[in-house]
């Protein structure tokens, strides 16, 4: 039996209202969730007050692990600062623990020297914004070749350089880790793990994209089980948060059964 526990990202069932999403998690025995600010017609983007979401979470015995996410966090400017403050306030007020930080992912800001400098500038500013609100930042390197932050090593070094180990941890996303091809996993710097699998036997690794991301099962090509085992062996005792993006998963009439099967599969293997 693994020492880790499961969490549920709202992307696993984006069509559910926040009430039904909490109920889904509860029905699976999952008490930790990630809510998102990119789901149209749903909290947070629909204007639902943080206090209302917080009350609903308490009512259902749910802990909100993170809000996902501040996008383009390493492109620091006045707009980003305003977004960061607004989101950090929401994280604090909703009773969540952390804010996920997603880097620029459009082919810009990749130059050697530039990307490291941009990352440190953003982290230094965010350290104060998040720290003032008692919120932790979760830096999520993305494996895509066009991403401005692919390497967890670069992220870890930058966190150290800004004296940010109290303010920041990293997200280990099993999909992005596989795409990045980086061997090191940094379990001690990992604050959250996102899990999803790729079953499609035809797609090449460089061509893998979010719509390929399904629940983890025996057909998984990303070695989720191996990655999780390595993280646990390295001392990670945190959450494994389901974050599939495939429409096949997101449109399931019965996501509970599919999620329960994936949980059972992972628990049997790890």
Phi, psi of 4 (to 5 degrees): -90, 160
DSSP 6: E
Q: Where are the domains of the chain?
A: 5-269
Report the SS3 class of residue 194.
Answer: strand
Mean pLDDT, all residues of the chain: 97
Residue 2 has pLDDT above 70, yes or no: no
SS3 content of the chain, % helix, strand, coil (to 5): 40, 15, 40
Name residues whose C-beta falls within 8 Å of residue 195's C-beta, 6 or more positions apart in sequence: 174, 216, 224, 228, 240, 241, 242, 243, 266
| pLDDT grade for 3, boundaries at 50, 70 and 90 | low
- pTM given for the model: 0.97
Is residue 69 reached through a cis peptide bond, with omega within 30 degrees of 0 on the bond before it?
A: yes
Helices 78-94 and 50-59 cross at an angle (nearest 10°) of: 30
| Residue 92 neighbours by CB distance under 10 Å | 16
Distance (Å, rounded) from C-alpha 20 to C-alpha 127? 34
Residue 210 has pLDDT above 80, yes or no: yes
Residue with tokens 């639902």: 48
Q: Which helix (H) or strand (E) holds 180?
A: helix 174-180
Q: Which two tokens stand for residue 247?
A: 């429409």
pLDDT score, position 4? 76
CA distances from 253 to 13, 219, 256, 257, 260 (A): 10, 22, 9, 10, 14
| Terminal-to-terminal C-alpha distance of the chain | 7
Name residues whose C-beta falls within 8 Å of residue 196's C-beta, 6 or more positions apart in sequence: 173, 174, 175, 213, 214, 215, 216, 222, 224, 242, 243, 244, 245
Alpha helices in 28-173 (DSSP H): 50-59, 78-94, 114-132, 152-161
Residue range 233-251, pLDDT digits in tens: 999 999 999 999 999 999 9
Tell the CATH topology of 5-269. Answer: TIM Barrel (3.20.20)
Provide mean pLDDT across the span 164-172: 98
Cα radius of gyration (the chain) = 17
Q: Are 44 and 83 in contact (CB under 8 A)?
A: no
Q: Which two tokens stand for residue 139?
A: 């830096």
Residue 1 has pLDDT above 50, yes or no: no
> With left for phi above 0 and alpha for psi between -120 and 50, is residue 32 left, alpha or beta?
beta
Between residues 64 and 44, the one the model is more confident about: 64
């Amino acid at each position: 039996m693994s020492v880790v526990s499961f969490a549920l990202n709202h992307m696993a069932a984006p069509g559910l209202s926040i009430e039904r999403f909490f109920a889904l998690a509860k029905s699976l025995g999952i008490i930790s969730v990630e809510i998102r600010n990119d789901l149209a017609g749903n909290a947070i983007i629909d204007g639902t007050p943080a206090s209302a979401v917080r009350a609903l979470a308490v009512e259902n015995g749910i802990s909100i692990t993170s809000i996902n996410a501040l996008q383009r966090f390493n492109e620091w400017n006045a707009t980003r600062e305003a977004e960061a403050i607004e989101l950090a306030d929401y994280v604090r007020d909703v009773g969540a623990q952390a804010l996920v930080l997603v880097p620029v992912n459009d082919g810009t800001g990749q130059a050697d020297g530039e990307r490291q400098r941009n990352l440190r500038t953003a982290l230094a500013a965010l350290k104060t914004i998040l720290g003032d609100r008692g919120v932790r930042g979760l830096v999520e390197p993305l494996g895509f070749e066009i991403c401005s932050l692919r390497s967890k090593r670069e992220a870890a070094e930058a966190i150290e350089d800004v004296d940010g180990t109290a303010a920041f941890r990293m997200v280990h996303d099993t999909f992005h880790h596989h795409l990045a091809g980086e061997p090191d996993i940094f379990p001690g710097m990992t604050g959250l793990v996102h899990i999803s699998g790729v079953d499609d036997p035809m797609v090449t690794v460089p061509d893998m994209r979010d719509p390929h991301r399904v629940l983890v099962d025996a057909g998984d090509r990303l070695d989720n089980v191996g990655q999780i085992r390595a993280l646990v062996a390295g001392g990670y005792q945190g959450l494994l948060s389901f974050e599939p993006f495939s429409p096949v998963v997101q449109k399931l009439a019965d996501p509970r059964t599919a999620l329960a099967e994936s949980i059972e599969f992972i628990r049997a293997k790890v």
